[in-house]
Structure 1
Amino acid sequence: MRIVVETIVAAPIADVWRAYTTPDDIKQWNAASDDWHTTAATVDLRAGGAFSSRMEAKDGSMGFDFAGTYTRVEAQRLLEYSFGDRTAQVAFTPEAGGVKVQVSFDSEDTHSVEQQRGGWQAILDNFKRYVETKRAR
């Protein structure tokens, strides 16, 4: 099953793209809740390039690596990647007032569709807040 989450970010496409694909920025927004954070991120932004984000509970109780390989990169337009046996696509579409960021991904069997959608949407909402707050400074 494919799950889709999206948001509109009130910022220029160049700022949105950079924040989504730059390790230092990723570490600032990539968490589904305040009790988690991303402690490390790497990005080789090209088809065949690898990416990884180390996500950890702030209390140190657990953590995991979210890693994969980019299969398609179209600057400021589209990212496609594989992670394990799953795939995802991130589309960046300029719209009046900002950029629509739409993430679609293959679901997994461990968590419910609602949990997966909620977690990915929460991360995307953090991304939106981060970019818009950074831009306002």
Structure 2
Amino acid sequence: MRITVETSVAAPIDQVWRAYTTPADIVNWNAASDDWHTTRATVDLRDGGAFSSRMEAKDGSMGFDFAGTYTKIVEHKRIEYAFGERKAEVEFVPGPDGIVVRVVFDSEPTHSVEQQQGGWQAILDNFARYVEAKRKTL
């Protein structure tokens, strides 16, 4: 099953793209809740390049690596990647209030569709808040 989440970011595409693809930015927004954080991220943004984000509970009780390979990069428009046997696509679409970021991904059998959609949506909402707050300081 495919799941879709999206958000609108009130910022220009170059700022949205950079924040989505730069490790120093990713560690600031890539968490589904306040009790989790991303401790490190790597990005080799090219077709065939690898990425990884280390996500950990802030209390140190658990963590995991979210990692995969980019399969298609169209700068400022689209990122496609594979992670394990699953795939995802990220679209960056001009909208009336900035850039709509839409992520479509393959679900997994361990968690409910609602849990997966909620977690990925929370991360995307954190992303939008981060980019918009960072934009105000520039």
TM-score by length of 2: 0.99
CA distance in 2: counterparts of 1:97 and 1:13, whole angstroms? 12
Question: Which runs of no fewer than 5 residues in structure 1 stay unpaired?
Answer: none
Task: Give the deviation of 1:96 after TM superposition.
Answer: 1.9
- What's the counterpart of residue 32 of structure 2? 32
- Once the two structures are superposed, residues 22-77 of structure 1 have per-residue CA deviations (whole angstroms, 9 ceiling, x without a partner) of 00000000000000000000000000000000000000000000000000000000
- What's the counterpart of residue 107 of structure 1? 107
- What's the counterpart of residue 132 of structure 2? 132
Q: Does residue 4 in structure 1 map to residue 1 in structure 2?
A: no
Question: Which runs of no fewer than 5 residues in structure 2 stay unpaired?
Answer: none
- What's the counterpart of residue 60 of structure 1? 60
Quick one: which amino acid aligns to residue 76 of structure 2? Q
SS at match of 1:108: coil
- What's the counterpart of residue 78 of structure 1? 78
Task: Give the deviation of 1:95 after TM superposition.
Answer: 1.5
CA distance in 2: counterparts of 1:97 and 1:123, whole angstroms? 20
Q: Percent identity?
A: 74
**Number of aligned residues:** 137
TM-score by length of 1: 0.99
Quick one: which amino acid aligns to residue 15 of structure 2? D
